[in-house]
Each structure stands twice: as C-alpha cells, then as structure tokens.
C-alpha cells in the first residue's frame, strides 16, 4: 500500500484575473522522458459525506495514456487536499505495475463496504486497452491497494472508456453492488459491463446488448435499477440501457436523441461525451455539448435531458451559459455536471463546470480557453449567470495529443456535505517556451478546484429556445475512437 503522507504534494491557493480563487490539488511529479510534464488532464470526482476524491491522469503521453493515475483527497469539504499516485498500475507507479500506461480515471464509493474505488484503462506497450483496473481504498482514501482487474482483454479485444458507480441506497435490493462499464474498440466499440457484490474485489460480466458505444456512465435508481446513458460509437446518438436485476442482464439499447455537435475550434481535444448524475429522489441529468439551438450549428451550448425512470426522457433543453444567448459568440464544451444527492423534487441543486471560448471565431493561436460554472437550485427551471472560474488560457500551453491539445475528454464536479459544488479541472499556465511540446518537462498544467465550494442558486436565466438545427453533424475532435 502507498501511504498518503509519503506521496503528498503541495497544495496552494492561486488567484489570477479570474473571478474565483482556486487551490492546486495535484501536480505531475513524474520525470520519465516519454511523456509530457508537468501535465495533468481529465479528472473525475465523487463525494460522500465530507470526503471528495478526485482522480486524474498524471504525465500525459502524446499518443495515449499517462504515466499513472493520481488521486487528490479532501476529508473536510475541500478545505485542504492531499495527493498521491496510485500504486501497482504502470511501470511508473510505486511500486511498479505490469502496464505501460493508464488512462480514463473514474471514481466511485461503496458505502455498504466502505470502499473508495478508482477504475482505469490500462494500456500495454502497443497502446492497446489491455485491462480495466480497479484501485481500492478502505480507509477513506488515505492509502490505496494495488489494483484488481475488472476485465483483461484477450485476442483482438481493445478496451476503452471505463466508468464505475456503486449503489448506495440502503433500501435498494442491490445495495452495495458496483457496476463498471467500458467498450471494446477491437470489436466495434462493443458495450461491456461488469458488476461486483464484494466492494470491488471480484467482478462478473453482465449480459449486455450488442451496441457500439463510447462513453457510457452507469447510474443507480433508488429502486436498484441500473440506468446507463450511452454515447453511440459514431457520437451521433445519445441512448440508454437498463438492468432490473442488479446488472446480471441489461436490456436493449434505445435512442434518446440525436447528437448534433459543432467541431470546437483551436485544435482543442473535445467532443460530445455525456456527463450524467442523479438526485436523491432518482432524477437523472445527462449533459453534453450540442449545437441544435444555434442556426447553422456554428457553436456549442451545453444541453441536457432528464429522466426519473431511465426509459422516458424530457425534451432536450439548453443551459443558458452564453451571456449573449443563442445569438452570442460563446462556444461551450467538456461539461462536468454535479447533482446534490441530498436534494429532490423542485429543490434539486445542479452545478455544472465546463470549458468555453468567449468568442468562437478563433484559431489555435487566438482562442482564449476559460473555465466556467453555472448552477440551478430548482432542478433546472432557472439558472444563474455564468461565473468565470479561470483563464484565459492559450491552447498551446496544454499537452499535445494525436487529436488536439488536451485538458481532458471530461471534467467533473461534485457537491460536498454543505451543499456546495466543487468543480475539478486542469488549468494551464504559460510554460517557458510558450508551448508545452517544446517546454516539457516544464509544462505547467496542474489540477485545481475552487478554494471555497460554489453555491447553487435559482438565478433568473431561463432557456426555452426552439431547436433550429437538426442535421447530424460530424463528430468533433474527440478521443473517442482511436486513443485512450
């Protein structure tokens, strides 16, 4: 086991020209010459009580994966954080593991077994998705065990895009069950799901529909049903599949809506990967980037749909982040939605962190990347004005990948025990040469979160805009098809 104190990194508060002070909660400590340093990308978070665990990629490679997954932990609602790398996964882990690289961190907590979990996508030396791993902590994130395998690829299998969740409803017939989803790129992005009944120690494959997907995110309803929002393999449709027997079998995959996504400019790695969370009474929120409310599909808004049973979904609505409305110039993408699980009905608190360009009319040299936050305390009936959290950032300050400069295929937000939201995101600063590629190992993209949690309020902004663009668009510059 790797002790938290032994690998703790310095966390510092930062204030710039943006509106909100942030705390740096992790920095890439690696020095291997094969990946870009100091770079952190793609965080996921989960909260339970006063604890929030954030996991992210540390030391991003250009052609896929990272040196290791790192975790940042707060046990006091974000007042202070400590961070460490996970042991036993990659050759860069301490102690080292069997895999060359790792990607796609996903955080979960199993309340019945008191286990924190981080699943990851382990890559072999040929950059194939070799296994879905799961690292476990039984002491609140203080130390972490070497990983177990959820699944190991065989033959021509090539895994991608894992996600893990646990059923924490004490009255659920499947309380304490955990579920991990992923896809097999080697076989047409075939959906794969496994379940565990023992705190993530062992896993059993589910019977799943033959669906080609990217970016599935399982959620558990209060009655124990498992609902999995799905992004189709060609990123053209949002769908779902449901299990009513604790993950043993999932039903047919059905379409919720087409996805129409504008190709975000500036050589930023992005795409319409959905972000999904659930309220205390079982209302699901799925958020993604979409251009259907913009004439000609010239920029993206964040949009969402909701469901209380996983099979009936509301009409897609726009989240009014752009100060100029549907005629504004803002391009908004890479959302991380948080839903306060202690709220329900007309008082559901929703907070969304995201990236955006204030002016979509830009290129790699002129785009100004910023981090934003918007919220609602009435379930989305109305929204606050957008808050600029951080930025502006120049695109080339971020690490390069084969599909564009990267802050993450996703970001994440979670509510704490005080009902305050904590977006967690990568922010880049100017490296010595002005370009991370030529500055490595001295890039400067740490992991951050607001120093104080952010409230969710009702606000006065309402979006009831008509759909004006319905044609399917080409997928954006996302990582969903070829690189993990």
Residue 483: pLDDT band (50, 70, 90) is: very low
Residue 453 has pLDDT above 70, yes or no: yes
Residue 470: pLDDT band (50, 70, 90) is: confident
At 242-298, the pLDDT tens digits run 999 999 999 999 999 999 999 999 999 999 999 999 999 999 999 999 999 999 999
Task: State residue 3's pLDDT score.
Answer: 35
Give me the mean pLDDT over the 14-31 stretch: 83
Give me the mean pLDDT over the 357-378 stretch: 98
Residue 2's closest CA among 99, 69, 54?
Answer: 69
At 141-156, the pLDDT tens digits run 999 999 999 999 999 9
Task: State residue 12's pLDDT score.
Answer: 59
- Output the average pLDDT for the chain: 94
Task: State residue 19's pLDDT score.
Answer: 77
Instruction: Give all domains of the chain, ordered by start, each with its CATH number.
Output: 2-450 (2.120.10.10)
pTM of the model: 0.94
Task: Tell me which of 16-20, 99-103, 283-287 is least confident.
Answer: 16-20
């Amino acid at each position: 086991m790797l002790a938290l104190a032994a690998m703790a990194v310095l966390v510092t508060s930062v204030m710039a020209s943006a509106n909100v002070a942030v705390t740096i909660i992790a920095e890439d400590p690696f020095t291997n010459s094969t990946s870009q340093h100091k770079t952190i990308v793609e965080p996921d978070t989960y909260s339970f009580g006063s604890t929030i665990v954030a996991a992210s990629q540390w030391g991003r490679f250009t052609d896929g994966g990272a040196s290791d997954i790192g975790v940042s932990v707060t046990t006091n609602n974000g007042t202070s954080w400590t961070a460490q790398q996970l042991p036993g996964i990659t050759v860069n882990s301490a102690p080292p593991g069997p895999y060359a690289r790792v990607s796609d961190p996903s955080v979960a907590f199993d309340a019945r077994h008191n286990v924190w979990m981080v699943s990851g996508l382990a890559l072999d030396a040929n950059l194939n998705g070799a296994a879905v791993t799961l690292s476990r902590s039984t002491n609140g994130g203080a130390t972490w065990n070497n990983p177990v395998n959820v699944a190991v690829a065989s033959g021509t299998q090539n895994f991608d895009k894992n996600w893990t969740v646990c059923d924490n409803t004490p009255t659920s017939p499947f309380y304490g069950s955990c579920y991990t989803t992923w896809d097999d790129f080697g076989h047409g992005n075939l959906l794969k799901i496994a379940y565990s009944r023992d705190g993530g120690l062992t896993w059993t494959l589910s019977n799943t529909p033959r669906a080609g997907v990217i970016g599935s995110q399982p959620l558990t309803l209060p009655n124990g049903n498992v609902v999995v929002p799905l992004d189709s393999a060609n990123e053209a449709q949002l769908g779902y599949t449901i299990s009513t027997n604790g993950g043993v079998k999932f039903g047919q995959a059905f379409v919720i809506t087409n996805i129409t996504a504008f190709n975000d400019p500036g050589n930023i790695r992005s795409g319409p990967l959905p972000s999904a969370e659930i309220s205390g009474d079982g209302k699901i929120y799925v958020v993604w980037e979409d251009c259907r409310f913009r004439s000609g599909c010239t920029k993206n808004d964040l949009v969402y749909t909701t469901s209380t049973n996983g099979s009936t979904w509301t009409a897609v609505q726009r989240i009014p982040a752009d100060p100029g409305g549907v005629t504004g110039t803002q391009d908004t993408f890479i959302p991380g939605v948080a839903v306060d699980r202690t709220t329900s009905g007309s008082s559901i608190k929703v907070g969304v962190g995201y990236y955006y360009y204030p002016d979509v009319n830009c290129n790699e040299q002129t785009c100004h990347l910023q981090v934003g936050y918007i919220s609602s305390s009435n379930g989305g009936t109305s929204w606050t004005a957008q808050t600029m959290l951080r930025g502006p950032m120049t695109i080339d300050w971020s690490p390069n990948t084969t599909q564009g400069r990267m802050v993450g295929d996703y970001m994440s937000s979670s509510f704490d025990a005080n009902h305050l939201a904590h977006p967690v995101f990568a922010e880049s600063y100017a490296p010595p040469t002005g370009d991370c590629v030529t500055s490595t190992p001295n890039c400067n993209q740490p992991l951050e979160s607001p120093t104080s949690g952010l409230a969710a309020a009702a606000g006065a902004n309402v979006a009831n805009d008509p759909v004006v663009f319905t044609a399917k668009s080409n997928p954006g510059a996302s990582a969903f098809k070829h690189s993990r």
